[in-house]
Amino acid sequence: MARNLMSDEEWAFFERFILAVRAPNGRKPTNHRLVLDGIFWIARTGAPWRDLPEEFGKWSSVYRQFRRWTLAGLWEDIMETLNQSGAVPDAL
């Protein structure tokens, strides 16, 4: 059983960013929600990628997707939107 999975409301927020950077390549789509949960698990724990629990998928696949999203500017877009929304008390 996966730990600390995001709520449906949280996923609804992140999903629009992920769909915006998705590049069609003919491959079967990944479970992006589970991948994002895995990335957040790494961020919360500070664990090395190789220690990612198998319930999130192969660590190397999760890392590869994290890297793709990083290169696409996904994290900056999310942070900018959160800062502009006023959803958090202080700028992130």
Over residues 36-67, the pLDDT tens digits come to: 999 999 999 999 999 999 999 999 999 999 99
Q: Which residue has the higher pLDDT, 4 or 1?
A: 4
Long-range CB contacts (within 8 A, 24+) of 8-11:
11/36
Crossing angle between the packed helical segments 8-21 and 74-85, to the nearest 10 degrees: 130
d(CA 55, CA 83): 31
Contacts of 39 (CB under 8 A, 6+ apart): 62, 65, 66
CA-CA distance, 60 to 77, in Å (whole number)? 24
Output DSSP code: residue 57: -
